[in-house]
Structure 1
Amino acid sequence: MVRHDPVMAAIALMGAPVSFLTSRYSMRKMRDFQKDNQEVASNRTVFDQETFQNLQFIKAFGLVDRVMEKFHSIQKETVAVALTQNHFQQWTTIITSLVGQAVGYACYGFAAYRLWKGDISYGTMTMFVSMAGSLRGSFSGIISLMPTVIRAGISAERIMEVTSLPRDSMEQKEEADETKRRSREEGITLKMEHVDFAYEGNQWIYQNVEFSANPGEIVALIGPSGQGKTTTLNLLLGLYHPQKGRILLGNPGWPSIESSSATRCLFSYIPQNNTLFTGTIADNLRMVKPGADDKEIRQALETACAWEFVEKLEDGMNTQVRERGSRFSEGQKQRLSIARALLADAPVMILDEATSALDVATERRVLRNIIKKEPNRTILVAAHRPSVFSMCSRVYKIENRAMIQVDEEGIREFLDTF
């Protein structure tokens, strides 16, 4: 077109600057819309999960109407974002089409003018108009790819955010397995040396913390809620990493290794919320030891004082648990969780308020059974009840960015405050 008629080429390219400016603005807006859509989708997913997981709580407090209101609010927000995006896309399409049509008619008019003056033939005019239309089609095709490119870019950013998270390190897997093998005879010692930890910025949970637990000991963590008891357990499990200091695990008299993903094989963990899965009682226990036979499962249930109610069930250990263990009381679920942790046969057991629903006599029986079954096992307990403290070798109090070992007087002061 430039070789045959530079003016015609210039007219055909008039739509390029408009398309370029429109596409730049459109890209910015589409990025915003894509982020809004993903945020709304995430909020909707979180709402669905929380609603179904806490259905009993919602019904117990008569919150169904409020939950329905929030559900409709999320729906309205989703529709509003979609309508706003569609409105913008339609107007962008209309403007781009109008610009393309204007350029097309300008090319056709100029070609007709040149034909009327006799400067070109009808065939040349047809060629010019056809080539101008092809050029406009190319611009339109490129612009139509922009939403797809933007969606891919935003999705790639989210994927990169996930892949950039620090990976679990398994470099010490062999050392951890060897430590676990030796622990049957020698047990495990835990140490925290000059540990500092904060979730973000300068919001310190504690600083320069010292802590130890030895084989055969029950060590308790006490302190007001939200001061760092569960955080400490997560640090020991290698789920969090301290900003400063070291967390060491090892057999007495052997080299220690630092806490990491590889050392989690040394722990059995009973969290605050007693997690049970759909399936039988035996299936739930075999999750930590797939090859366990019925005899091993029964022994774990007996040690956790759970066999006394399991044997009375219609199918015994093959009784269906149902979703989230809804057929069992909180105390029963706690004992089943403890039995599962015992079956894992790890040298360190962590109980995070794991006996809070048991009566004092049953609680003491469970702890005594655990120690009797494995005298070298190290037990860490996060608790508030005084019945546990009398069985502990040491008690650490976490408060005001510090962790200190307390005596009986310190425990009484805490209980009086609590």
Structure 2
Amino acid sequence: MKARPDVPDSTAPNQAEAIQAAPTDAAPSDAVASAAAVLPAVSSTFSATDRPGPAVLVLEDGRRFVGRRYGSEGQTLGEIVFATGMTGYQEALTDPSYAGQIVLMTAPHIGNTGMNDQDMESRKIWVAGFIVREPARIASNHRATRTLDDDLEAQGVVGISGIDTRAITRHIRSKGAMKSGIFSGDLFGLSDSEQLERVLSGAPMRGRNLSLEVSTVEPFSIPAQGERIGSVAVLDLGVKTSTLTYLAERGFEVLVLPQSVTAEHVLSLKPSALFFSNGPGDPAASDAHVTLLQEVLRAGIPYFGICFGNQLLGRALGFRTYKLPFGHRGINQPVLDKTTGRVEITSQNHGFAVDMPIEGVHDSRAGFGRVEVSHYSLNDQVVEGIRCLDINAFSVQYHPEAASGPHDANHLFDRFRDVVLASQRGIAGETK
């Protein structure tokens, strides 16, 4: 079998060959060395004079991109997707919605603000792999307590740098998200065919239920901030820390529940409302969560869902979901709110969507009355929000907590609070 060639030290071959050589790392300047000395707490264990070993990104269609190891050494498999945010890599890495995916950052320079404890959106990094063009080896931010290199290495995240991320993004945009793998260390030396065989053996995202991997095991609660208006049962399908904070700030006692919880248990808590979080995987593989939601809706409990929770509401109402070619991932996604006529720039991370006409009022196929699309994407007209007209339920496909990203949609937490307060006063009907 053909062995992997050494990484060339010269400039990369023709781009059409889809193989890029890692750039040669120059010695650090005196200024960089001085900065590293002043900030020992956030200097990486990586030395700028070191040269990471070779690594290769392999796509399921046979395309190969050779670069340098970034993060941990070894092998990782997952669906390759791209994220368009210029900032917020820490929030993206710790977003459970990225579980099972190898994430490519389209911004060319990643890592310059390091890592800190305050911006963690969950307990760990969830991406299956990480791809950057040019990694920053030294953190240059007063809040940083460690470098991105440190966290990737400590958490065993296999990555690759020094490859043409723009060419890969264009390829994914043209061909769609696909299986992929990163190989470094001894596994870099596997033959092309062996590496491709491993990539093809990876699990597809379609039909995959990942909520068990990211959900809390034990329930826990967060007290309301300020005046308590009631409790909200949160089904943790991959919830982010910022989301829980925003709910508590609206006066909710937040009851975070594992994804395995039953409708009977939820109803026994007598919550003022139900919230389904964001999360990874295919909504078509989450029938148990759809059934739970239907039972709670029939009990008359108000509902708000985001991201994965939007897809599950769509399915609970009787509509189907489908996989997008390459998804929406980034902090600059324009959405039209049909209820207000406003355009909002939103933070998004999803690869599936609800199949529902964006115009007109429709009857729920599951008996929940009239339904309409409340929001849609201005890029591709994908459904970005659902509003029920006869029950207190609504959802959006994006992340209104916007961690990271613009806060245009933060008002949706206020809308949810108002719906719950109206429900407590005995006012049913449209979720304005």
TM-score range, shorter chain: under 0.3
With a CA cutoff of 8 Å and minimum separation of 6, indicate the structure with the bigger relative contact order. Answer: 1
Q: Which has the higher helix share?
A: 1
Q: Which has the higher strand share?
A: 2
| Bigger Rg, structure 1 or 2 | 1
TM-score for the superposition, normalised by structure 2: 0.26
